[in-house]
Amino acid sequence: MALFDSILVPIDYSLGARHALAVAAGLRKRAGARITCLHAFEPVDALPFAPIINIDYTHGAWRDEGKKRLTEFVREALPSIGEFDVSVERGRPGDVIRAEADRLEADLVVMGTHGRTGLRRVLLGSVAEEVLRRAACPVLTVGEDDDGAKTDEPRETIRSILVPIDFSDHSSAGVHLAAAVAATFDAEVHILHVIDLRAREAHEPLIEDTQSSMDEIYAAAMKDARDAILRERASLEKVGPGPAIQDHVILGNPNEEIPRQAQQLKVDLIVIGSQGRTSLGDRLLGSTAERVVRLAECPVLTLRTSAPD
């Protein structure tokens, strides 16, 4: 069974969309998936895209014109993309993307995080944020400033993957997805756990012992983390031969350390399970996952394991 069978790529004609298209094409070449490029637009009176992309959405031929313009954009952006499908729909982009993903039974959405509706590193972007929070399938986000990567050829190379874990079921699912991606690309996996001693709930039994020194608390937390990583490794081995794995346990703030470790390790992809112990509930993606998507300099594959809104 292929890693991904159907990939949906929302296109808003931004540089971020070009980056996303290159990543999706690389995945397609490795995984054999079908790519559908989607342009979603709101009515002209609500969000006037027509003057921007030179399409008159007020007459009956808007879908045919939109598909022609979208096909031209994709071919120009990525001449070697091969076969792909196109779709143009009216409505709120977030709603349209989710509906199209459901209709296609897409198992991955690949999208840029800096289109016309968002500010990189300040705001994730209302459309990307909504899709991340509510999509039923994994979402791979690609930044507009994605480490200077080329946009005019498929990005087929993933050599190294970072997967942060907090030992919840959500992060465990992320480990298994990272291993599957690594197997497809013959990549190595870095499993990272950041011990945040300020998170009282994570180390409650230790903190209650007021006689314990911080060194003792840290040592115990480190041992617990190593033991939990060994259990994750054992779980992967039950599935079959897996990728090369390195594990890292450090002390710090997960929001800051995950992007920093990704940069230091020079990984090509971060895979993160959302709605783990650091999540903020239904209204937000989760503080750690959301910050990683905003701050990472490489693509981030986010896997939701809870029911979408």
Would you say 27 and 7 are in contact if contact means Cβ atoms under 8 Å apart? yes
**Parallel, antiparallel or unpaired: strands 139-142 and 300-304:** antiparallel
CATH class of residue range 6-142: alpha beta
pLDDT at 273: 86
Vertex 53: Cα angle to 49 and 55 (nearest 5):
85
Work out the pLDDT band at 141, boundaries 50, 70, 90. Answer: very high
Condensed to tens digits (0 to 9), the pLDDT of residues 91-126 reads 989 999 999 999 999 999 999 886 444 444 444 457
**What HEC string does 15-35 produce?**
HHHHHHHHHHHHHHHHHCCEE
CATH class of residue range 160-304: alpha beta
Give span(s): CATH 3.40.50.620, the chain: 6-142, 160-304
Q: Please state, for a pLDDT cut of 70, what percent of the chain lies above it.
A: 76
Q: Cα 301 to the chain's mean position, in Å? A: 3
Structure tokens at 5: 């069978």
Condensed to tens digits (0 to 9), the pLDDT of residues 192-219 reads 999 886 654 444 554 455 545 677 777 8
